[in-house]
Structure 1
Amino acid sequence: MKYRRLGNSGLKVSEIALGSWLTYGKSVEDQTAEDCIHKAYELGINFFDTANAYESGEAEKVLGQALQGYERSSYVVATKVFFPMGAGPNDRGLSRKHIIEQCDASLKRLNMDYIDLYQCHRFDEEVPVEETLLALDDLVKQGKILYAGVSEWTAAQIEKASGLSKEWRLHPLVSNQPIYNMIERYIEDEVIPVSERNGLGQIVFSPLAQGVLTGKYKPNQDIPSNSRAANDATNMIINSYFDERVLSTVEKLNTLAENNDMKLSQLALAWTLRKPNVSSAIIGASRPSQIEENVKAVDITLTDNLVKEIESILEAINDFHPVR
C-alpha cells in the first residue's frame, strides 16, 4: 500500500480507502463486512469511511466493531453529518446543535474516543457557514475530532469556507469528498484547482462508477442477476450510467486494460489516482477478493501514452451527464 497526505495536513491516508455506503449495515451481512474490513487492514488500508446516515447509524456500528481489535492509532476513521437522523426539525443539516449532537452519537456508535476526519456530508443553504465552521473548530479543540472536511461542496463554497477559516484562524478544512471517475469528471474544472489553493485533498467516492468500470455490464445485454445494479437496495446511482454510449466506451476501456495486463478496475483506480490532489479513492466491497484486486492499482503508473489512449476513448462520452 502507498500513502498520501490528506490535503496540506500531516495526516497520511492509504491511496485506497474502504467505504461502507450502500453495503455495510445494509446489503452485506455483518460478518462478511467485518471480513472485508479485516482484509483491507491486512493489505495496508488504514483509511475507513462511513457516515451517520448510512442505514441510520448501522454502518458506523459495523465498522466500529470490526476495528476494535486494532491499535487505535493505526487507522483513520472518517464519518459525516448532514442528512436527517430523525423526524425533528433540528435532526438534520449543519447547525451547531445537529453537528455537536451527531458527533457524540457517532462516537457512541463507533465506540471510539475520537473521529479522525469529520465531514459535512453536503452544504447547508439554511445555516450560515460561519456557524458550521465554528462548531467544527470547537470539536477539534475538544479533541472529539482531529480534522474536518466536506463532501460534494462546490468550488465557491470551498473558497468561502476556507477564506473564513483563515481570517478567523480556525482549524482549516483538509478535504473534500466528491464523486469522481472516468465518467463523472466535473471536479477537474474548478473544484480541484480551488482545493489545491486552499489545502484540501480530494477523497473521491465511486471511482469505479458503482461497478460499471469493472466491465461486468455489457451493452445490449441483461444485467447480471447477482450484481449491484440488480439489487433494489443498492442500484439508485448505478442505473444512471446505463447508457449505450457509456457501456460501449467501458467495453473499449476494458480491452485497453486487458492489452496492458491489468483489470479494468485497476486501470480506472490508477487513472483516478493520477491526480496529485486526489488523496485517496474510496472503494466498496462485498467480498474480500474485490479488495485484493483493487489495491493492486497503487502499484500501477500510467504512462503518458496510455493516458492519451484513455482520453481518446473517453472523448465519446465527454458530454454525458448522469441523471441524479
Structure 2
Amino acid sequence: MNLTDIAYGTWSGGKFMHFGKPLEDERFRSVIRHAYNSGIRTFITADVYGVGRADQFLGEALEGIDRSTYCLVGTIGHDFYTGQRVGNRGYPRFTDPELRSPREYADYVKMATEKSLERCKAEKFDLLMLHNPDERGYTRTEVWEAMVKAKDAGLTDRLGIAPGPANGFTLDIVKCFEDYHEAIDWAMLILNPNEPWPGNLALPAAEKFGIDVLTRVADYGGIFWGDVKPGHEFKAGDHRTYRPEGWVEHGYAKLEKMMPIAEKHGLTPIQMATIWNLSHPAVKSVVPTFIDEAGEAKRYEDKINELAATPRDLRFSEEEVAEITRIGDNTGCMDLKGASKRHETSTRPDEWPMRDDLVDIADRYNLGQSW
C-alpha cells in the first residue's frame, strides 16, 4: 500500500519529543488506534524514537488490524545499537566511520530494518526511509546500495529519504535526487504555509525525478491547530521555547491574513495548511504533529478527527497557493543545516562545508548563492 494523503507520525504525543503534555502509555496506543478508526491509513515511525519504543507502541496499537488496510513507514539511520548518545546531538548515524566502513552498511541496514519490523509486528514496510542522514548518507553510493538490498530482500516495497530534524539540506537533497532517483520513491520535507522556505525549493527537482514528497510540521509548532495563540505559555522543557522570541505572535498574525481563503472553502487552519501542502504537485502526503497542549486546548482525539475530516478532493488554485505563500514567506529567516559556506570543516553530523558540485546544483536549479 502506498502512502495516503494524510498520515500519522509516532513523534506525536510528546512522549519521545519534548512538546506539550506527554501521553501516558495506554493513551498513546489508543490515539493511534483512534487515528485508524478516523480514516487515517498511513503510520510513520522511527526506530530511534524511544530507542525502539515508538515502533513497539505502534505495533501494539495496530495489532489485529488487517495489515493490507494501512501503509507502514519505517525510518532508520541513527545507530543506537552500537553507538553512544552524545548529548543533544543524539545517536551517531550508522555511516559514522568510527562505527563501521562502507562495506558494512548493508549488514547494518538489514539488521536495523528487521529489528524495527519485529517491534512493529510486521513482515515488511511499505516505505523505508533513510532518517536524518549525515553527508555520507546523501553522497555515498554504498548507502543507497544498502537500502536497495533491503528492498530486494523483501523488507520494504519502497525507499525514501527523510532529512532533518532541522530545516535546510536543500542543495544536498536535490543532488541526492539527481544521483539516486532510481532508488528513491519518497522524500520527507518540512513545509507549511508559515514555512514555505526552503522546502519549496526542492519540490521542482522532486517532481522532475518522479519522487513523491511527504511534508511534515504542517501545523507550524501548533499555530495551525488553533490552540497556540499570542500569550501561550509553554511548559518548561518544551522544545518550542527555543524558537525566536515572538514567533507565536508573528505566526498567528500571518494565519489571520490567510483565514479568508480557508473560510472561503470552509476549512479550519490545519485543514487549510494540509490542502496548501497537497496543492503542490510533488506533495502527495501530509503529516502534522499532534500535540496535547498544556492548559486549555483542543483534545488530542478531536485534532485527529479534524485532520481526518479534511476534504480529500479539494486543491487550492495556483493563485491561492501563491497568495498564502506570499503571506507566509519566511525566506532567509534561519541558518540552514547541511552544506553551508559557514563551515570549513564538518564538526556536526548535520552541518558540513559547501562543495563545488552543490554550487553547480544551486546554479542549475536557480537556487541562488546565499547558502
Match of 2:38 among 36, 39, 43: 43
Alignment pair present for 1:16 and 2:6: yes
Match of 2:98 in 1: none
Match of 1:7 in 2: none
Task: State how far apart, in whole Å, the 1-side matches of 2:62 and 2:319 are.
Answer: 41
Task: State how far apart, in whole Å, the 2-side matches of 1:237 and 1:313 are.
Answer: 22
Match of 1:200 in 2: 211
Q: How does 1:131-142 map to 2 (within 5 A)?
A: 131-142=142-153
Match of 1:275 in 2: 280
**Alpha carbons of 1:190 and 1:268: their partners in 2 closer, same or farther (altered >3 Å)?**
closer
**Alpha carbons of 1:264 and 1:160: their partners in 2 closer, same or farther (altered >3 Å)?**
closer
Task: State how far apart, in whole Å, the 2-side matches of 1:309 and 1:164 are.
Answer: 34
Match of 1:185 among 196, 199, 220: 196
Task: State how far apart, in whole Å, the 1-side matches of 2:269 and 2:174 are.
Answer: 35
Query: Displacement, 1:187?
Result: 4.5
Query: Displacement, 1:308?
Result: 5.1
For structure 2, list consecutive stretches of 5 or more residues without a partner in the other structure.
Answer: 17-21, 85-90, 96-104, 293-299, 338-371
Task: State how far apart, in whole Å, the 1-side matches of 2:146 and 2:274 are.
Answer: 35
Query: Displacement, 1:186?
Result: 2.8
Task: State how far apart, in whole Å, the 2-side matches of 1:274 and 1:322 are.
Answer: 27
**Alpha carbons of 1:14 and 1:322: their partners in 2 closer, same or farther (altered >3 Å)?**
farther
Query: Displacement, 1:208?
Result: 0.8
Q: How does 1:1-324 map to 2 (within 5 A)?
A: 12-23=2-13, 25-26=15-16, 27-86=22-81, 88=83, 92-94=93-95, 95-126=105-136, 129-152=140-163, 154-165=169-180, 172-219=183-230, 221-223=231-233, 229-230=234-235, 232=237, 235-237=238-240, 239-240=242-243, 242-243=246-247, 244-254=249-259, 257-258=262-263, 261-285=266-290, 286=292, 287-299=300-312, 300-303=314-317, 306-307=320-321, 309-315=323-329, 317-321=330-334
Query: Displacement, 1:111?
Result: 1.7
Query: Displacement, 1:34?
Result: 2.5
Task: State how far apart, in whole Å, the 2-side matches of 1:60 and 1:88 are.
Answer: 19
CA contact (8 A) 2:207 2:281 kept: no
Percent of counterpart pairs with the same letter? 23
Task: State how far apart, in whole Å, the 2-side matches of 1:67 and 1:24 are.
Answer: 19
2:68 counterpart letter in structure 1: S
Aligned partner of residue 126 in structure 2, secondary structure: strand
Task: State how far apart, in whole Å, the 2-side matches of 1:107 and 1:304 are.
Answer: 40
Task: State how far apart, in whole Å, the 2-side matches of 1:200 and 1:12 are.
Answer: 13
Query: Displacement, 1:151?
Result: 0.8
Task: State how far apart, in whole Å, the 2-side matches of 1:305 and 1:133 are.
Answer: 38
Task: State how far apart, in whole Å, the 2-side matches of 1:176 and 1:152 are.
Answer: 8
CA contact (8 A) 2:43 2:72 kept: yes
Task: State how far apart, in whole Å, the 2-side matches of 1:126 and 1:294 are.
Answer: 36
Aligned partner of residue 12 in structure 1, secondary structure: coil
Provide the alpha-carbon RMSD of the alignment. Answer: 2.9
Task: State how far apart, in whole Å, the 2-side matches of 1:323 and 1:222 are.
Answer: 27
CA distances 1:110-135 after superposition (whole Å, capped 9, x unpaired): 12111211111122324662111111
**Alpha carbons of 1:230 and 1:251: their partners in 2 closer, same or farther (altered >3 Å)?**
farther
Aligned partner of residue 194 in structure 2, secondary structure: coil
Task: State how far apart, in whole Å, the 2-side matches of 1:261 and 1:149 are.
Answer: 34
Match of 1:4 in 2: none
Query: Displacement, 1:194?
Result: 1.4
CA distances 1:106-164 after superposition (whole Å, capped 9, x unpaired): 01211211121111112232466211111111111111122110012845444554555
Task: State how far apart, in whole Å, the 2-side matches of 1:311 and 1:157 are.
Answer: 23
Task: State how far apart, in whole Å, the 1-side matches of 2:269 and 2:38 are.
Answer: 20
TM-score under structure 1 length normalisation? 0.81
Per mean C-alpha deviation after superposition, the further-off stretch among 253-262 and 116-125 is: 253-262
For structure 1, list consecutive stretches of 5 or more residues without a partner in the other structure.
Answer: 1-10, 224-228
CA contact (8 A) 1:76 1:116 kept: yes
CA contact (8 A) 1:165 1:172 kept: yes
Query: Displacement, 1:289?
Result: 1.6
**Alpha carbons of 1:164 and 1:321: their partners in 2 closer, same or farther (altered >3 Å)?**
closer
